[in-house]
Amino acid sequence: QASDALTTATSIVIIGFQLNPADALARYLLATTLLRNYLHPMITVVAPDADTDHWPKFFDDIGTHFRRDRRRFEDWVFQAHP
């Protein structure tokens, strides 16, 4: 079900997940579904500690762009989303 949802999504928001190299299954699922998604969804990563995550390299490796939102989860939830 996750694969189907990601393959047809027009917007994806990832909150507080660093995508460590050990998260191989999550990397595989996300990479394969994004490569099959012809809608080219807007991807937002909500994470204040951008220096500790692996998102830029991951998206660069699969040729996909993303938008960084450096707010904390609580701030993102309680403030209007762009």
pLDDT in tens, 1-26: 999 999 999 999 999 888 888 999 99
Parallel/antiparallel/unpaired status of strands 67-69 and 11-15: unpaired
pLDDT in tens, 33-82: 999 999 999 999 998 887 778 999 999 999 999 999 999 888 988 886 65
CB of 55 closer than 8 Å to CB of 65: no
pTM for the full predicted model = 0.86
